[in-house]
Structure 1
Amino acid sequence: MDNKKISTKSSLYGWRNEERGINSPPLDFSFMKATAFDDLENKNLQATRTGRIPKKNQENRYLTSSLWLGHNSITSTAKLQNFVKNALVSSENLSWLDLSFNAIFDIGDEIAEFPNLKILYLHGNNISNMNSILKLRKLPKLRTLTLHGNPIESLPNYRSYIVTILPKLLNLDFSPVISAERKKALPPGFFKIINTSG
């Protein structure tokens, strides 16, 4: 392959990454004291942690695949899909969503609208029903998940349950999922707990 072809291929790959927002800084709405996604619409972006803000397109949507909404007081994921669609150039390309340290008690069905989500932070919330976690099985690319600091963490065999429910996870609660965990047999009454908790 000659240099011209390599250059063309490289620039095309770079363009695709830029269009998808893969190499862009996150859209950071952390620490905004928001109780709902509507509260964030007129807020100034946070740039303290990253030092940069993602680019905008002509429709004032941001070119990024990462959205940070941690350290607010959001209670529900209702309207998350609309918020992401209005904020990002491509909501389908969302790959990292941080909802940590909010007051979320349930994961809504709209989470399935983000098929490219790879990283999901939900630690420090109020999730108590394991059925909420079952909804995450609709995310085929999810590899990193945090749930510690939620009431479900106190369930017996909590980590084993999550690894069983989501067998493609590579990291759970900032700790790698090891092969021994995947081979572990389900404890008695597992499905009963899943179907009746909460």
Structure 2
Amino acid sequence: MPSHPLPPELVPPLDFSFQPLQSLQDLCPDAAPSPTVAVRFPYTGLRSLAGLHPTLQRLLLHPARLRWLDLACNRLSCIEPVLSTLLGLQSLNLHGNNIRDLSEVQKLRPLSELRRLTLNGNPMEEEPGYRRYVLAALPQLNSLDFSAVTEQERRDAAVWGRAQGRNRPHREQ
């Protein structure tokens, strides 16, 4: 009986959780590129995403088909521009990093397919208007911080975003 490969979305993610990495260049995969559309790098200690594209090209059979990227609980201090080039990304997990500046979210605007985003556990979460700001910048999201986005939230964020000119919310004095 001929074997049929699994559809890429059913192939388990490549999981590098808890592997200590100073950088993505430290990663030396032994296996052939995977057909998966999901990669996990949580709890690896990453401070930078330098070399993300070459790493994905080594790891994935079709890097442009990446749909899910987990970078949770690392030491990232910003949303690096390379993330905005992953145009097929639908789910991005950045919770538990050290991202302080709420305006970093703007770098994700080119990701029109992005539906699920987690940013909780970053210092930016403490900013007034955090959730509205993110939803105004990324109105296509269905889930933010593991919580479904309601239609009312989406409308409120759109109104708020227009009123704010999509600028960073200011702290009340």
User: Structure 1 length as normaliser, TM-score?
Assistant: 0.76
State the secondary structure of the residue aligned to 1:112: helix
Root mean square deviation, CA, Å: 2.1
5+ residue gaps, structure 1, are 1-13, 45-55
5+ residue gaps, structure 2, are none
- Which of 37, 40, 54 aligns to 2:27? It is 40
Q: Compare CA radii of gyration and give the structure with the larger one.
A: 1
Residue number in structure 1 paired with 2:130: 158
Whether the 8 Å contact between 2:137 and 2:166 is mirrored in structure 1 is no
Residue number in structure 1 paired with 2:73: 101
User: In structure 2, what residue type is equivalent to 1:161?
Assistant: Y
Residue number in structure 2 paired with 1:179: 151
List 4+ stretches of structure 1 deviating above 6 A: none
Residue number in structure 1 paired with 2:168: 193
Give the fraction of aligned pairs with identical amino acids, expressed as a percent. Answer: 34
For 2:160 and 2:61, locate their aligned partners in 1 and report how far apart those are by CA, in whole Å: 42
CA, structure 1 residues 95+192, in 2 after alignment: closer, same or farther (shift >3 Å)? closer
Q: How do residues 92-171 of structure 1 correspond to structure 2 at under 5 angstroms? A: 92-171=64-143
State the secondary structure of the residue aligned to 2:117: strand
CA, structure 1 residues 78+181, in 2 after alignment: closer, same or farther (shift >3 Å)? same
Residue number in structure 2 paired with 1:29: 16
For 2:10 and 2:167, locate their aligned partners in 1 and report how far apart those are by CA, in whole Å: 43
User: Structure 2 length as normaliser, TM-score?
Assistant: 0.86
What is the Cα deviation at residue 169 of structure 1?
0.1
For 1:167 and 1:124, locate their aligned partners in 2 and report how far apart those are by CA, in whole Å: 23
